């Protein structure tokens, strides 16, 4: 099988789904050109774990034309400064928050992002990305309330999972999805 190009993927996805470009930052401007060409700028989320100033200086006005989601590791000493910088300069629609524990400082920063009005994106694939509230905890340990429930309780509206059908079942059981 031949791997499709980004243009082919975006053409296929047009009008159907949102696309989260996880490892595309090095091709930011090239990706934007393809999104423009395919009419899918509003369907693609670009992201990076870099400070606002760097992203803006490297991408200029293109940053303002795309959906961009900062990735912030809440364990890093500069996490709050990174959050504040994005909130001051661009008001992102969402932040991807990464954390390996759910201590008071992590909870404070999650609340800060939630209070800003930005959506919270949490990756539940592995415990080190979501403070131990991961998919395996939900499914293998039969603790969905301590996993997905905890994530939702912190205000996350976007959850990356390898178990989408099971997460949907959980959301429906909790009357959080149709």
Say which CATH number the domain at 124 has.
3.20.20.190
Instruction: Say what the pLDDT of residue 160 is.
Output: 97
What does the alpha-carbon distance between residue 139 and residue 82 come to, in Å, rounded to a whole number?
Answer: 33
Summarised one tens digit per residue, pLDDT across range 141-150 is 999 999 999 9
With a cut of 50, which residues of the chain have pLDDT below it?
A: none
Q: Could you tell me which residues are beta bridge partners of residue 100? A: none
Instruction: Say what the pLDDT of residue 7 is.
Output: 98
Give domain status of residue 40, yes or no: no
Instruction: Say what the pLDDT of residue 10 is.
Output: 98
Instruction: Say what the pLDDT of residue 93 is.
Output: 94
Give domain status of residue 28, yes or no: no
What are the backbone dihedrals phi and psi of residue 107, each rounded to the nearest 5 degrees, phi first?
A: -60, -40
Give domain status of residue 14, yes or no: no
Give domain status of residue 161, yes or no: yes
Give domain status of residue 12, yes or no: no
User: What is the number of domains present in the chain?
Assistant: 1
Instruction: Say what the pLDDT of residue 6 is.
Output: 97
Q: Which two tokens stand for residue 63?
A: 């940053």
Give domain status of residue 168, yes or no: yes
Q: Which two tokens stand for residue 148?
A: 């997905």
* Residue among 71, 137, 79 at smallest CA distance from 106: 79
Which domain, by its residues, includes 68?
Answer: 48-173
Give domain status of residue 80, yes or no: yes
What does the alpha-carbon distance between residue 116 and residue 55 come to, in Å, rounded to a whole number?
Answer: 21
Instruction: Say what the pLDDT of residue 74 is.
Output: 98
Average pLDDT in the chain: 97
């Amino acid at each position: 099988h031949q791997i499709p190009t980004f243009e082919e993927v975006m053409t296929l996805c047009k009008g159907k789904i949102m696309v989260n470009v996880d490892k595309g930052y090095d091709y930011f401007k090239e990706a934007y050109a393809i999104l423009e060409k395919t009419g899918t700028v509003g369907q693609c989320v670009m992201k990076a774990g870099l400070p606002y100033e760097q992203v803006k200086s490297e991408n200029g006005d293109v940053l303002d034309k795309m959906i961009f989601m900062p990735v912030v590791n809440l364990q890093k000493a500069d996490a709050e400064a990174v959050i504040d910088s994005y909130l001051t300069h661009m008001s992102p629609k969402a932040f991807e928050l990464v954390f390996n524990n759910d201590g008071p400082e992590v909870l404070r920063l999650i609340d800060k992002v939630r209070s800003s009005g930005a959506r919270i994106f949490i990756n539940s694939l592995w415990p080190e990305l979501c403070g131990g509230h991961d998919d395996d905890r939900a499914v293998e340990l039969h603790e969905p309330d301590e996993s997905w429930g905890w994530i939702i309780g912190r205000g996350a509206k976007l959850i990356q999972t390898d178990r989408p059908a099971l997460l949907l079942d959980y959301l429906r059981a909790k009357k959080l999805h149709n």
